[in-house]
Amino acid sequence: MFKGVNSPVITIMKDDGSIDYANMERHINHLVEAGLNGLLFLGSLGEFYALSDAEKRALIDFSVRTTAGRTQVVIGVGHTEEAETVRLADYAARAGADALNIVSPYYFGLPDTEAVGYFERMAKAVSLPIMLYNFPARTGSDLSPAIICEIAQRCPTVVGIKDTVDNISHTRRICQAVKPVRTDFSVLSGFDEYYMVNRIAGGDGVLCGLTNVVPELFVQMHRAYESGDCTAAHDCAKKIAGLMRIYEVTPLFITGMKAAVRAAGLPISTYTRAPGGSLTKEEDQRIRTILAECGA
């Protein structure tokens, strides 16, 4: 169900911290028109953890309405409370979303003994297809290839995973474990520079932050790879590898990503909800320099 190059869309805010729907509309239209295969709203880059329930619901309505069926819409509904995850999932379904992204419960982490049961309950309770979200650096627990394989076999409506682990062998082992028993199960990498190795390992693509900044570059790489033009795909991947330095400029990468979107041409505020912090002039200039060096 999930393939190619997909974007975890930033939530653009005004300097006063309110959601900037005018620039959100411009940004969504840019991503859609660039040809991305899907958009994820209320992911980590979307600051789901810092939004109120009312803001989440308003953003779901807005995102589905603005995307208007032009590409796939996935909504992040993860929460520390199971009942709230289900409530938000039901809301996303009624709004017209295509699928859900559900992160493992965080703070205390999710033991292996509980992971299968948790996602089985989610699969039974919601009506939309589910993409698992494995981000152990933030959740405190890792969904191992064996656990993912068991979930995939028990839950037909769990149709893929975003694997945000900075180790391609983890994603490769997921592909090797799951694909033989669920050929329809999508494996996406959460790290931008892993598109090529993900595909070589048997995966389906990426769901990654720099698509907010240079969506055309990712689409060009994906189309080149699909057509067998490995030289062109490699050239795109090399540029993306250089752009990865943007993640290292600011203490919280979300602020840096917003600064990069602004530097690329959309006049937005870089305001990020706490603990995001504010952008310094030096950080802003460094991001602009990286974009220039990479021809972006």
**Which domains are delineated in the chain?**
4-216 (3.20.20.70)
Q: Which residue has the tokens 């995307």?
A: 67
Both structure tokens of 43:
């992911």
How much of the chain exceeds pLDDT 70, in percent? 100
Kindly tell me if the per-residue pLDDT of 33 is higher than 90.
Answer: yes
Kindly tell me if the per-residue pLDDT of 48 is higher than 90.
Answer: yes
d(CA 152, CA 115): 12
Comparing CA positions, the residue from 241, 209, 223, 214 lying closest to residue 296 is 214
Do residues 243 and 266 make contact, with C-beta atoms less than 8 angstroms apart? Answer: no
The confidence score (pLDDT) of residue 117 equals: 96
Do residues 144 and 170 make contact, with C-beta atoms less than 8 angstroms apart? Answer: no
d(CA 279, CA 270): 7
The per-residue pLDDT for range 250-262, each reduced to its tens digit, is 999 999 999 999 9
Q: Across residues 157-185, what is the average pLDDT? A: 97
The per-residue pLDDT for range 61-78, each reduced to its tens digit, is 999 999 999 999 999 999
Residue 19's φ and ψ, nearest 5 degrees, are -70, 130
Kindly tell me if the per-residue pLDDT of 275 is higher than 90.
Answer: no
Q: Which residues contact 262 (CB under 8 A, 6 or more apart)?
A: 268, 270
Comparing CA positions, the residue from 213, 194, 217, 220 lying closest to residue 205 is 194
143: helix, coil or strand?
coil
d(CA 26, CA 287): 22
**Helices in 142-229 by DSSP H: which ranges?**
145-154, 168-178, 195-200, 215-227
Q: From the CB of residue 241, how many other CB atoms can be counted at a distance below 10 Å?
A: 13
59 Ramachandran zone, left/alpha/beta (phi>0; psi -120 to 50): alpha
pTM of the model: 0.97
How much of the chain exceeds pLDDT 90, in percent? 93
Amino acid in the structure at residue 280: T
Do residues 41 and 76 make contact, with C-beta atoms less than 8 angstroms apart? Answer: yes
Average pLDDT of the chain?
Answer: 97
271 Ramachandran zone, left/alpha/beta (phi>0; psi -120 to 50): beta
d(CA 85, CA 105): 10
d(CA 269, CA 271): 5
Query: Which residue pairs from 268-271 have beta carbons closer than 8 angstroms and sit at least 24 positions apart in sequence?
Result: 268/12, 268/20, 268/23, 268/27, 269/12, 269/13, 269/14, 269/15, 269/20, 271/13, 271/14, 271/15, 271/16, 271/17
